Chain A
């Protein structure tokens, strides 16, 4: 019970609304380390967590034709200074189904914590899946976060992922998402991270547009300062007619930080098209001067620009 309350407290700090755990219309799952502290289901949703030695295996299924009215709330975390949490998710969104997940991952006291997530996601035809993951870390930076996902999107479907890590130190972060997109379907992946101290950020987001008229957008917004380093690999491959994709990466660096962007676009069909844009540099001088000309001090002006980019 104590852990449950503490998890909800950290969840609130991460920006979540703890009262949703009392709402019978909203499905949820709360996992601390390898313990399931709370869960609630709604009709048509199968959410089966199974505790393992180091975490939880989760089977998630949304039944055919069911579009869940409310988002499913997930809360994962490790409250002590040390610990390991390995979450394995197998998600299946059946044909014609739709679901939005809001995952809050909280590690407020981490000094030596490892959080691994391995997801296999299958989105059927005419289906919709949105996964939003928000992290809340402590100030120590003693955390490793390693999320991996393999995603398959059926025909006429839509998948959205939004990852944000803006509160607390990043620590060591290594994300690897890969998705295959079939006919008339779309993929929309966004990652927003603010690294400082000696944080290390590595992101690989890849989309394979294999279906006719498939669409892909991979977007990264990264800010690093102090001695933080980031490497962003955004990869889009288009191998079907009328497939369209765009890669958009912006990284802002301050102090002694280092940033690297590697956009990879690969087109093997003459009627497909993938574009990319990548920009790395300090905060745009004109933006800063504009805000300073309204009376903000330089440091505050930079904060406003960076906060806007990561919003």
Chain B
């Protein structure tokens, strides 16, 4: 498996505050790669930097996708190359039906695939296709529709920002199955989460702390480390401690 996404020494400052610090990470094609970290570790910012969102252009460092330097490309160009992002709290769209929303990301509109994608997230198409992607949807419904849209888009890389947030425990299994289905269809997944039990589905997990990747390894091991040493977050208990992780633990 080759490297699909390579991030090297990315730094991001927002309003005078360093959010990402010389962050480097490589994501292998065809894997589920988890970014695990506490709140405010910079996980979502990393997602926005990879996607190229407005206001999230890195001050230094490079991002390569499929070997091409995409560091200065806008969001739509990156999307056309095969990268997409599922936001932690997806936007709502008044007047846009779910079927049209899902179709936005498809190269060629395929109504059968739109229907299939809703089945994948356990939403009955006849109840949802004509509904609007607006505030009448619950948070959980909206998240599922986002995943359905990703499934129909068939991107090369999807960044899933906390796909489990706002999802009840019963629906979590479905979300996890959906992530596995995405992998099966050939999509590489960068899974952002603060829950080690969710990161366990990943092939590899990177532990993120204070804007840097501080540890990387097998998901179970990193998850165990996170649970034992990062909860509660030592950087908040001992603010002077660099990254909250002993240097010897950094792999």
What total count of A-B pairs have CB within 8 Å? Answer: 66
Contact B87 A292 (CB under 8 A): no
Contact A286 B80 (CB under 8 A): no
User: Is there a chain B Cβ closer than 8 Å to A298's Cβ?
Assistant: yes
Contact A289 B104 (CB under 8 A): no
Contact A309 B75 (CB under 8 A): no
Contact for B94 among A285, A286, A294, A309, CB less than 8 A: A309
In the assembled complex, the CB of B240 is this many whole angstroms from the nearest CB of chain A, namely: 36
What mask results when residues 71 to 98 of chain B are scored 1 for a CB within 8 Å of chain A, else 0? 0001110111001110100111111100
- Name B155-169 residues within 8 Å CB distance of A: none
Contact for B95 among A286, A298, A301, A307, CB less than 8 A: A307
Contact A294 B87 (CB under 8 A): no
What mask results when residues 282 to 311 of chain A are scored 1 for a CB within 8 Å of chain B, else 0? 001111011111111110010011011111
User: Is there a chain A Cβ closer than 8 Å to B51's Cβ?
Assistant: yes
Known: A285-B54, A286-B87, A304-B104. A292 touches B75 (CB 8 A): yes
| Chain A residues within 8 Å of B3, by CB | none
User: Is there a chain A Cβ closer than 8 Å to B53's Cβ?
Assistant: yes
Q: By the criterion of a CB under 8 Å from any partner CB, how many residues of chain A are at the interface?
A: 24
User: Is there a chain A Cβ closer than 8 Å to B105's Cβ?
Assistant: yes
In the assembled complex, the CB of A282 is this many whole angstroms from the nearest CB of chain B, namely: 11
In the assembled complex, the CB of B143 is this many whole angstroms from the nearest CB of chain A, namely: 13
| Chain B residues within 8 Å of A305, by CB | 93
Contact B94 A290 (CB under 8 A): no
Q: Which residue of B lies closest to A307 (CB)?
A: B95
Contact A293 B95 (CB under 8 A): no
User: Is there a chain A Cβ closer than 8 Å to B153's Cβ?
Assistant: yes
Known: A295-B80, A297-B76. A289 touches B54 (CB 8 A): yes
User: Is there a chain A Cβ closer than 8 Å to B149's Cβ?
Assistant: yes
Q: Considering the chains assembled together, what is the distance between the CA atoms of A295 and B75 in angstroms?
A: 8
Known: A289-B53, A289-B54, A290-B87. A295 touches B105 (CB 8 A): yes
Known: A286-B87, A293-B51. A310 touches B93 (CB 8 A): no
Q: Considering the chains assembled together, what is the distance between the CA atoms of A310 and B51 in angstroms?
A: 29
Contact B76 A298 (CB under 8 A): yes
In the assembled complex, the CB of A63 is this many whole angstroms from the nearest CB of chain B, namely: 36
Q: Which B positions have Cβ atoms within 8 angstroms of A?
A: 51, 53-54, 74-76, 78-80, 83-85, 87, 90-96, 104-105, 107, 132, 149, 153
Given A221-B94, A285-B54, A308-B93, 7 additional A-B pairs, CB 8 A = A284-B91, A293-B51, A294-B84, A294-B105, A295-B104, A295-B107, A301-B76
Ordered by A's residue number, 28 sampled pairs between the chains whose C-beta atoms are within 8 Å are A221-B94, A250-B94, A284-B91, A286-B91, A287-B92, A289-B51, A289-B75, A289-B91, A290-B91, A292-B74, A292-B76, A293-B76, A293-B78, A294-B84, A294-B104, A294-B105, A294-B153, A295-B79, A295-B80, A296-B76, A298-B76, A301-B76, A308-B93, A308-B96, A308-B132, A309-B94, A311-B95, A311-B96
